């Protein structure tokens, strides 16, 4: 046990602290920040970065789900609809990664890098052009029947299942953008709670799959949690004093550039 703690990397913990603080200040998903950081700055293999980050996200979002659940701010109907699409999509995505990894490990890493780049650009667009995107989607979803809303929600869950399983990015900004258009009469806090509640089983299932595929680094996971958990807690306490209108566009711009860098 003592030897294990000696393997903890303080640089990973510092990165977790910084990313956790940014998440606490802005609400921007940790995967969109942590995964590219691990891949581009620390040279962690894409599959390992994604797998580790998924379990990291499952642990950190569980606390948020507990809080929202106790406050009654989760619409379990929406969460179930998303899961109807994301669970099978996650299983199929894991099967694809297993097949690619068995044939060629570089093939799986190549797919992960490409999907990560696309997911980062999509997330950046949803943040930078949130209002315009919301208006566009609302125009096309206005007047949908409940059955049609159900199908679109399930399809959104399926898209999130693929993106999150392969890249660990997308559950937050992309999911919320669609939910706001599909359920305009629902209180935003319930949509946020529903989105976070859906992210827990999604990231846990995807992370467990990556664990079975051998793409989870336990030492890296613990190192990140040591920094990120206090980072999120401290930043959330002071979030009202943070210049969110400056930080969110700045982080989104960094995501867009990083996503383009991974795609080129």
Domain that holds residue 238: 46-263
Q: What pLDDT was estimated at residue 50?
A: 92
Q: What pLDDT was estimated at residue 165?
A: 94
The pLDDT of 171-177, averaged and rounded, is 79
What six digits make up the tokens of 33? 């920040």
> Would you say residue 65 lies in a domain?
yes
Query: 191 and 180 in contact (C-beta within 8 Å)?
Result: yes
Q: What pLDDT was estimated at residue 73?
A: 81
> Would you say residue 128 lies in a domain?
yes
Q: What pLDDT was estimated at residue 1?
A: 53
52 pLDDT above the threshold of 90: yes
> Would you say residue 12 lies in a domain?
no
Q: What pLDDT was estimated at residue 109?
A: 83
Q: Taking the alpha carbons of 152, 154, 155, 159 in that order, is the dihedral positive or negative?
A: positive
pLDDT in tens, 76-127: 999 999 999 999 999 999 999 988 876 555 677 888 889 989 888 888 888 8
- C-alpha closest to that of 19 among 57, 47, 46: 57
> Would you say residue 13 lies in a domain?
no
Distance, CA of 134 to CA of 139 (rounded, Å): 8
> Would you say residue 95 lies in a domain?
yes
Across 12-16, 97-101, 204-208, 241-245, least confident range = 241-245
Across 21-30, 49-58, 202-211, least confident range = 21-30
- The CA-based angle 105-93-190, given to 5 degrees, is 135
H helices then E strands: how many in the chain? 12, 0
Q: How many CB atoms lie within 10 A of CB 122?
A: 21
> Would you say residue 16 lies in a domain?
no
- The CA-based angle 97-101-102, given to 5 degrees, is 120
Across 153-167, 217-231, 245-259, least confident range = 245-259
> Would you say residue 228 lies in a domain?
yes
Q: What pLDDT was estimated at residue 94?
A: 95
Into how many domains does the chain fold? 1
> Would you say residue 99 lies in a domain?
yes
Residue 196 pLDDT grade (very low, low, confident, very high; cuts 50, 70, 90): confident
Mean pLDDT of the chain, nearest integer: 84
């Amino acid at each position: 046990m003592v030897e294990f703690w000696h393997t903890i990397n303080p640089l990973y913990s510092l990165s977790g602290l910084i990313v956790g603080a940014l998440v606490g200040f802005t609400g921007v998903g940790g995967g969109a920040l942590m995964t590219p950081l691990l891949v581009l700055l620390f040279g962690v293999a894409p599959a390992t970065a994604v797998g580790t980050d998924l379990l990291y996200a499952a642990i950190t979002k569980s606390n948020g789900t507990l809080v929202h659940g106790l406050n009654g701010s989760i619409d379990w109907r929406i969460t179930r609809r998303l899961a109807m699409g994301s669970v099978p999509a996650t299983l199929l995505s894991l099967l694809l990664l297993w097949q690619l990894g068995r044939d060629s490990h570089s093939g799986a890493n190549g797919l992960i890098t490409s999907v990560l780049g696309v997911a980062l650009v999509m997330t950046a667009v949803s943040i930078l052009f949130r209002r315009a995107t919301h208006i566009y989607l609302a125009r096309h979803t206005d007047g949908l029947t409940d059955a049609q809303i159900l199908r679109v929600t399930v399809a959104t869950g399926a898209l999130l299942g693929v993106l999150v399983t392969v890249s660990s990015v997308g559950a937050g900004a992309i999911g919320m953008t669609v939910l706001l258009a599909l359920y305009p009469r629902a209180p935003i806090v319930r949509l946020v709670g529903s989105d976070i509640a859906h992210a827990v089983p999604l990231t846990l299932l995807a992370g467990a799959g990556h664990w079975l595929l051998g793409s989870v680094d336990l030492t890296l996971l613990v190192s990140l949690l040591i920094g990120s958990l206090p980072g999120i807690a401290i930043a959330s306490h002071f979030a009202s004093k943070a210049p969110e209108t400056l930080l969110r566009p700045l982080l989104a711009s960094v995501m867009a550039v990083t996503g383009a860098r991974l795609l080129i």
